[in-house]
A and B are shown apart, each in its own frame.
Chain A
Amino acid sequence: MKIAVCVKQVPDTWAEKALKAADSTLDRDAADGVMNELDEYAVEEALKLTEAHGGEVVVVTMGPERAGETVRKALSMGADSGVHLVDETLHGSDALATSYALAEVLKDRGFDLVMFGSESTDARMSVVPAMVAERLGIAQLTFAQKVEVSGPTVTIQRATETGYDTVEAQTPAVVSVVEKINEPRYPSFKGIMAAKKKPVETLSVSDAGLDAARLGLSAAWSQVEDFAARPPKAAGTIVVDEGDGGAKLAGFLAEQKFI
């Protein structure tokens, strides 16, 4: 089984995030980059599947030079090889452009499964997996909390608010995973050493045969007009109970449209 896992480098979860004044895009240099947390679950699941069924895991990332660190992290966890799409023209790409670029890189490579974390901690759109599936013309099995493969059939439990749906498709298919699915492994020191020798293919926009006009900030379907820092939290309201505390509280809640 050949599995691609799409991973994204995001600013460290604990870091203060900021937009750049020049073009209103995320300032990725301001904070340490880490692998998007849910993508670690996708890598883990892909490794488990190939450990059980044989095959290989290829990590695919689109991002600036240092997103290569995220590819290496996945390789040190045990993935076999990497593909890194890196190009100035990609800067500022929205979800539509990202899905276009990823789909072009993924197609014709013979993947049985293309796996994703179900959202990234920076953009939180949760749309790229579905868009990539659509562009590739293959089934989408999203929000998986369990994945099983039997021959050409992939069955997942799709997490819902009340429980789960069982959804099934034939490979090739896109699978996005939620946190419940597993516990990602820590790399081993041997894994770190081995990762240095694993192949990573670096592609520019033209290497990948992409149309530059469909990529980057200028091609984005929405533009950020303006932004401002979140205002500091206002002091709380203190209600003094003079026999009418209950009514005052209810009034406050109603006013805030909580009840």
Chain B
Amino acid sequence: MSYPWKGRSVTRLMPTEESVELMALVEDFAASELAPKAGPAEESADFPRESLRALGAMGILGLPFDSAYGGAEQPYEVVLPVLEELARAWLSVGISVSVHYLACFPLAAYGTDAQRDRWLADMVGGDLLGGYCLSEPQSGSDAAALATSAVLDGADYVVNGTKAWITHGGRADFYSVMVRTSDHGPKGISCLLVDGATTGLSSAPPERKMGANASPTAQVILTDARVPADRLMAAEGAGFSVALAALDAGRLGIAACAVGLAQAALDAAVAYAAERRQFGRAISGFQGVSFMLADMATAVAGARALYLEAARLKDAGLQFGTAAAMAKLAATDAAMKVTTDAVQVLGGAGYTKDFPVERYFREAKVLQIVEGTNQVQRLVIGRALGQGPARQ
């Protein structure tokens, strides 16, 4: 059974009646509260903390999580279209919500009942925002080389090191931090749930980026930060698997954000092509332009289908890591291509800040880099192929 939802840009088949109402609510909020603020806030690098609080009050920050802890227990088939709609209005907000889910994942999926009872309801309740700390200055794609150390001292881990490129760095209320508890390579990594107010945790000024500047990215520096040992998620040494499992789901979030951004660029290009006249007619009447628009629309639809397919595998409890890598790869490459072509369709106007497509173009680039570069996605996909077709 599926329920049609006719959005302003896309018609979707949703799995339940309430998910249709959720989509309407999200689209309404995104159009009235997010889209009008996006351009100016990106220009001045203003983090939309209040908009995220409002989304929290609506239940969006707890959407995929267990209802016993106040979440809405929605499948990824619903969660991802929500992220897409948010990102269509404002990419930085879509990224924020996706990263928040990523930060909650270790506790939600690997915490003990006692740990979940203590922290999860607050984390997914809407007031708090999370960060996810894996990357370091010297370990990006090679994440298992991370060096931030955690040494047990009585009832606490004492943590020292620098985490790099952290979304919400300095602004998050809590962080899931991958640390090194022994020298055994990937098997020496553990995951700690660190309170943002921990003494010894500080952040550097936000990076000055090409785009998505309303989404703060900063180093998180840990200097003799004491983290209670009961904040260890899963066993010591299991942290790298936790981090990778979180990224499998996180990549789906990035894929959905990429589709939202590409859809926004497509919508802008289609609208402009219908209005702009050259040689006595609308430029959309030229095959050279309409074929470009057709390719853009096809790329968006293809990427959307791919993330939905991966979401359904995940929702059914099947292996979805490879499908998620494919969705992230295809969707973010599509976003780059579509936003580039959108600038082309708008001609000179597309190259100015009077239209949003130059911003979309700059924003698209980061999606090919975060949560595993697209080279790393190919690595993941290629590795799975080597293990035979049965492996998803």
Binding site for B on A (CB under 8 A): 76, 185-190, 192-193, 196
Contacts and interface: CB of A to CB of B under 8 A. Distances in A.
Contact of A196 (B18, B28, B58): B18
10 contacts: A186-B28, A186-B57, A186-B58, A187-B25, A188-B58, A189-B18, A189-B74, A190-B72, A192-B21, A192-B22
B63 interface: yes
Contacts of A187: 25, 58
Q: Which of B21, B29, B57, B58 has the most CB of A within 10 A?
A: B21
Contacts of B28: 186
Contacts of B54: 186
Question: Which of B29, B72, B74 neighbours the largest number of chain A CB atoms within 10 Å of its CB?
Answer: B72
A187 B59 CA distance: 9
A190 B59 contact: yes
A189 B57 CA distance: 9
A192 B22 CA distance: 8
Contacts of B25: 186-187, 189, 192
Contacts of A188: 57-59
A29 to B, nearest CB: 15
B18 A193 contact: yes
B232 interface: no
B273 interface: no
A192 B29 contact: no
B166 interface: no
Interface residues of B, number: 14
B60 interface: yes
Contacts of A193: 18, 72
A189 B29 contact: no
B202 to A, nearest CB: 35
B216 to A, nearest CB: 25
Contacts of A190: 59, 72
Interface in B30-78: 54, 57-60, 63, 72, 74
Contacts of B22: 189, 192
Nearest to A192: B21
Nearest to B22: A189
Nearest to B82: A189
| A-B pairs, 4 with minimum CB distance | A189-B59, A188-B59, A188-B58, A192-B21
A9 to B, nearest CB: 14
Nearest to A196: B18
B271 to A, nearest CB: 15
A196 B59 CA distance: 17
A164 B28 CA distance: 32
Contacts of B57: 185-186, 188
Contacts of B72: 189-190, 193
B268 to A, nearest CB: 18
A186 B29 contact: yes
Nearest to B70: A190
Given A192-B25, A193-B72, 4 more contacts: A186-B25, A187-B58, A188-B58, A188-B59
Interface string B281-318: 00000000000000000000000000000000000000
Contacts of A185: 57
Nearest to B31: A14
Contacts of B29: 186
B103 to A, nearest CB: 20
Contact of B63 (A189, A192, A196): A189
A165 B313 CA distance: 62
Which among B57, B58, B74 has the greatest number of chain A C-beta atoms within 10 A?
B58
A192 B28 CA distance: 14
A190 B22 CA distance: 10
Contacts of A186: 25, 28-29, 54, 57-58
A76 B21 CA distance: 10
A192 B72 CA distance: 11
